[in-house]
Structure 1
Amino acid sequence: MITRRLLIAAAPLTGCAASTNPATPAPAAATVPPPVPVATPNQAPEIDLQTISSVPFDRFVEGVKAEGRRRGISTNILNAAFAGVRPNQRVIQLDRRQAEGGLPWEEYRDRIMVSPTRVQNGRRNYTENAELLRRIEARFRVSPRVIVAIWGVETNFGGNTGGFKVVEALSTLAWEGRRASYFRNELFAALKILDEGHIRVDRMTGSWAGAMGQPQFMPSNFDRYAVDFDGDGRRDIWDDKADALGSIANYFARSGWRHGEPWGLAVTPPPGFSLAGADTETKRPMRDFARMGFRTEGGGALPDGPEAQVVLPNRGSGQVFLGHHNLRVIRRYNSPVNYGLAVGLLSDRVG
C-alpha cells in the first residue's frame, strides 16, 4: 500500500558525502565549499597577522620545507615554491567570512547557476568540444552534459580558475591554524604535484582555499582523480582541456556514476502534498510516485526510470524534484543540495 504521507522536511539526499563546508572538509569532496563569499576589501577589517599564530610564519615555512625534504620533495622545488610566499591577509579574511549561501533557490538557480548566459555558453562549449567529449564518454562512461555543466559552474568553462597562488594560500591557512591539519596535508599534496612536474610553480594558481584548475580540485583530489587524458606525460588541469574534462569524468566514474541513467527531474506533487512534512529519505520506483499523483512539472506522466526520492531545494518557494542515484553522485563533487540540482538542470540544457 503506497502512502501519501511524506515526512521530514527538506532533508538532504541520503547516502551523500558530508558537506564540504564544515570545519573539517570531507576528503571525498572535489572542491572547497561554495559559494565563494562576496566580499570587498572595504567590508573586511584588517587582520593583525602578528596575532594569528604563536609560530612566526618564516619559522613555519622552514618547518614545512624540512618536512618536504624528508618526504622526498626536491630542494629546488621547495625553494621555488616558497620564494616570496608570505601570509595572505585576503585568504584569511575569506576563510573567516565563509557563508552557507543565503540566496533563495530561485535566484541562485536563474541568476547564477543556470542563467541564460551560462546555458548559451554551455551549449557552445558542448558543440565545440563534441569530439573530445565523445572520447571521454567512451573511456569513462560519464555523460558529457554533466561534465560540461560541472565545468561551467566551477570555472565558467575554464575562464575563471582563481588568481591566488596555491602554495601561498595553503601555507597561510595551514599556519593560521583554524583547520591547520587539513590544509597542511593539502599543502604537501600541492608540493608533490610541483615535484612531479605536472605544472610550473608560476602556473599553480587557484581559489583562496587552494582549489585548482578548471575542475577546481583540491591538491589531494588531484592525486586521486586527475588524469593525463591526452597522453603527454602531465596531468595538467589548468591549461589542458582534455586533461581537465577527463579528470572531471574520472571523478564521476569513480564516485559511482551510472551511465545512461538520468539524474532527476522537476515535478508537480499531488494535491495535499506538504513541503513541511515531505519525506525526502524514502526511495521508491517511479511508478509508485506516479500512482501517488506526481506529474512532470509540465503536467505530463512521469517517465519510467530508476528509483527516486523527493528532493526539496533549500530556501525554495515550492519547487519539488525527484532525484535518482546520479544526483547523489553530482553531490559527491560538491554536497549542497542546491548545487546538485542546479548542475542537473544545467546539464539538461547544454546538450
Structure 2
Amino acid sequence: MMTALRVFPSRKTVLALTLLIALLALIAPTRAAQIDGQFQAWLQNDLWPQARAEGISKKTFDAALAGIRPNLKLPDLVMPGEKPKTPKKQHQAEFGSPGNYFAEKTIGAVTAGGRARLPANAKTLAAIEKRYGVPGPVVLAIWGRETGYGAAKLSYDAFEVLGTKAFMATRKDMFRTELLAALRIVDKGLVSRAAMKSSWAGALGQPQFMPTSFLKHAVDFDGDSHPDIWNSTPDVLASIASYLVDYGWVKGRDWGFEVTVPDRVSCSLEGPDQGKTIAQWAGLGITRVGGKPFPVGELRAEGFLLMPAGREGPAFIVTPNFYVLKEYNMSDLYALFIGHAGDRIAHGDKRFSAGWGDVGTLYRSDIAAMQRGLEKLGYDVGSADGLPGFKTRRSIGLWQQKNGRAATCFPDAGLVKALR
C-alpha cells in the first residue's frame, strides 16, 4: 500500500505568507482613511459652496454630515482617481420569462396584504380618492410592492448613502442633486435629521421616494403640519397618490384591460406612440378577456397595445394611466404588476387568462447582441441593454414580417442566431 505524501510549507514560506497577510491588513484601513480624507475635503471645498449658494445653512450642513464616512460596501462605486470599470459580458445573467415577475408568492403577498388593510384604511383611502382621483387599491399595491406595507426595514443613514454616492458613484451627478435635496428637506424642517433613514439606494420612507421626489410629491394628510412618509400611514398613502397625480393620472380612467389579440393584428403595433381610440382597437377585432365589453366611457378615449412577452404571453390595451404607473419605476412589468395587483385587491384573485411562454436558455448578452444586429439594420430598439422593451419587441415583429416569418415580437434562440 502506498502512503500518501504530505507536503508541508517551509518555514520561509509560512513567514512570507504571514507578512503578506499582515501587509494587506494594513493597506485596507490606510486606503479607507485616504478616501475618507478626500471625502471630507470634497464636502467642505466642493459640496458646501454649492449648498450655501442654494440657501442651505451651515448649521444644517454640518449637523447632517457630521461623522459621515464613505460606505465602501455600497454598489456601483468608483474609487477616487480611478475610471469606471467596463462591465464584463454577463453571460451568466440569464434572461427569463416576464412571467417570473408575477410569481404568485410575490403578487399574492401584495394582494392579500392590500385586502387585509382595506378595512382599517377605508376612510383615508376614500378621502384620498376624492382629493386625487387615484383608486385606493392602486395606492395600496404600490405601498405593498415598495416596502411590504412598511415591513421593510430602512436601516441606512440617508446622508451616508447619498454622500458616498455623490462623491464616488457611477452616477454621482444624480446623487449630488439628491444629496442637496436631502439637505434642503432637513433645512426646511420638514424632517428631522435623525429620521432620514433610507434604502441602500438612498430612497426614503415607505413609498421609497428619492429626496427630490419627496420635495415635489410628499404631503401632510394626517394634519400634523409635516409630511411623514416613514411613520404616518395617511401621509404615505396620500403621497403616493400625489406622485401619480403630479405625473398626470387621469381621474375616472382605468389603467388597462387584458385582451385577446387576433392573429391578423400585428404585435408590432405595440407602444405608447401608436395609440388609437379603444373603439378603433375593438374595431380591429381586439376583445376583452372573459367576454366583457370595454366600458362605454373608455371607447372614445385613447388606448395602447401592450404585449410584454409578444405572442408568448398575455396582451393588454392600456390607458395613459398605465404610463403614469410606469413613472414610479421605468418598467412595463412594474406598471403591469401594480395595475394587476390593484385589480386583485379590489376584485379578488383573478389571474391573467393567458400564460407566459418559456424563453429557453438565453442570456442578457444574447439579447444585447440581437439588439445590436437589429440596430445595424436600421431598427430602433431603444437601447442594446439586453432587456427587450417595447421598441425592441416591435422591431423584432417588423423584422419577422419583412423576412416572411410569423411575427412573435419576442426573442428566441433562432432570432438571436439570425441577427447576431
For 2:200, the aligned partner's letter is W
Corresponding residue of 1:78: 61
CA distance in 1, matches of 2:121, 2:95: 34
**Higher deviation after alignment, 336-345 or 63-72:** 63-72
Relative to structure 1, the CA distance from residue 87 to residue 152 in structure 2 (aligned partners, 3 Å threshold; closer, same or farther) is same
For 2:304, the aligned partner's letter is Q
CA distance in 1, matches of 2:110, 2:333: 17
Shift of 1:53: 7.4
Unpaired stretches in structure 2, ≥5 consecutive residues: 1-27, 79-83, 347-420
For 2:261, the aligned partner's letter is P
Q: Which has the larger radius of gyration?
A: 2
Corresponding residue of 1:104: 97
Shift of 1:170: 0.7
| 1:168 alignment partner, one of 153, 160, 163 | 160
Compute the TM-score of the two structures, normalised by the length of structure 1. 0.77
Shift of 1:289: 2.1
Instruction: Determine whether 1:324 maps to 2:324.
Output: no
Higher helix share: 2
Deviations 1:211-230 (A, max 9, x none): 11111111111111111122
Shift of 1:302: 3.8
Deviations 1:40-79 (A, max 9, x none): xxxxxx9x96699798112122233454345443334323
Instruction: Determine whether 1:57 maps to 2:50.
Output: no
Corresponding residue of 1:229: 221
CA distance in 2, matches of 1:321, 1:213: 32
Deviations 1:276-331 (A, max 9, x none): x3443422222222222222223444443132110121588321111111111111
Identity level (%): 34
Shift of 1:80: 2.7
Task: Name the SS of the counterpart of 1:309 in structure 2.
Answer: strand
Instruction: Determine whether 1:251 maps to 2:233.
Output: no
| 2:329 alignment partner, one of 315, 323, 334 | 334
Corresponding residue of 1:43: none
CA distance in 2, matches of 1:166, 1:149: 25
Structure with higher RCO (Cα < 8 A, 6+ apart): 1
Unpaired stretches in structure 1, ≥5 consecutive residues: 1-45
Task: Name the SS of the counterpart of 2:290 in structure 1.
Answer: coil
For 1:225, the aligned partner's letter is H
Relative to structure 1, the CA distance from residue 345 to residue 225 in structure 2 (aligned partners, 3 Å threshold; closer, same or farther) is same
CA distance in 1, matches of 2:77, 2:103: 25
Shift of 1:273: 4.4
CA distance in 1, matches of 2:40, 2:172: 16
Shift of 1:342: 0.9
CA RMSD of aligned residues (A): 3.1
For 1:106, the aligned partner's letter is G
Compute the TM-score of the two structures, normalised by the length of structure 2. 0.65
CA distance in 1, matches of 2:196, 2:96: 31
**Higher deviation after alignment, 226-235 or 59-68:** 59-68
Deviations 1:76-109 (A, max 9, x none): 4323322331111222358999x99955221101
The size of the alignment, in residue pairs, is: 303
Shift of 1:181: 1.8
For 2:335, the aligned partner's letter is G
